[in-house]
C-alpha cells in the first residue's frame, strides 16, 4: 500500500491531537478531577451482576434477621 501525502499529513495531525488530549487529561487529574468528570457519566457503566453479588455478600447477615 502506497502512502500518499494526504495519509502522512492525516497521521501527523492525529498524533498531534492525541498528544494534546493526553496533556489535557493529565492536567484534569492533577487538578483533582475524577474519571467520571473526564469521561462523562454516560461512559461509566456498572457491571450489574458483579454489583448484585457484592451487595448480597456484604449484607448476608442483615437478611437472616
How many whole angstroms separate alpha carbon 43 and alpha carbon 46? Answer: 10
For the chain, domain boundaries: 5-64
Smallest CA-to-CA distance from 38 within 53, 51, 27 is with 27
Kindly give the confidence (pLDDT) of every residue in the chain, 65 residues in length, as a single tens digit, with 9 standing for 90 and above.
568 888 888 899 999 999 999 999 999 999 998 888 887 666 566 788 888 888 888 876 665 54
What pLDDT is recorded for position 63? 58
pTM: 0.50
Amino acid at each position: 500500500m502506497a502512502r500518499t501525502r494526504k495519509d502522512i499529513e492525516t497521521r501527523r495531525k492525529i498524533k498531534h491531537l492525541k498528544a494534546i488530549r493526553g496533556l489535557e487529561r493529565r492536567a484534569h487529574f492533577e487538578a483533582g478531577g475524577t474519571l467520571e468528570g473526564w469521561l462523562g457519566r454516560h461512559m461509566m457503566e456498572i457491571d450489574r451482576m458483579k454489583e448484585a453479588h457484592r451487595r448480597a455478600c456484604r449484607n448476608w447477615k442483615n437478611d437472616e434477621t
